[in-house]
Amino acid sequence: MTKEELKKKIGKRIIELRTQKGWNQSDLARACEKDRQAIEKLENGKVNPTLYSIYEIAKALGIPLSKLINF
């Protein structure tokens, strides 16, 4: 798997889990104290997220980190 493929998979997984909660990007951004544009870039695979960013998103969604990166 390439870096680009991994970024896109993580982004799709964030979208999937966020929408399961009925949240929009702004809701998730508020919950993990990021701006909406940062969430949009993560979801679109435009940035290489740090492990800590992924952890913050998982925590905001109320899920274990492993559930976010298990695809």
* Per-residue buried b or exposed e for 48-64, using 16+ beta carbons within 10 Å of the residue's own CB: ebeeebbbbbbebbeee
The answer to whether residue 29 scores a pLDDT higher than 80 is yes
- Spatial neighbors of 12 by CB under 8 A, at least 6 apart, are 43, 71
Predicted local confidence at residue 66, as pLDDT: 93
pLDDT at res. 39: 97
Section 30-57 average pLDDT = 96
Question: Which CATH topology does 3-69 take?
Answer: 434 Repressor (Amino-terminal Domain) (1.10.260)
Q: Report the chain's mean pLDDT, rounded to a whole number.
A: 95
Res. 70: pLDDT tops 90: no
Whether pLDDT at 55 is above 80: yes
Q: Could you identify the residue written with the tokens 């290489």?
A: 48
Residue 24 has pLDDT above 90, yes or no: yes
Q: Domain ranges in the chain? A: 3-69
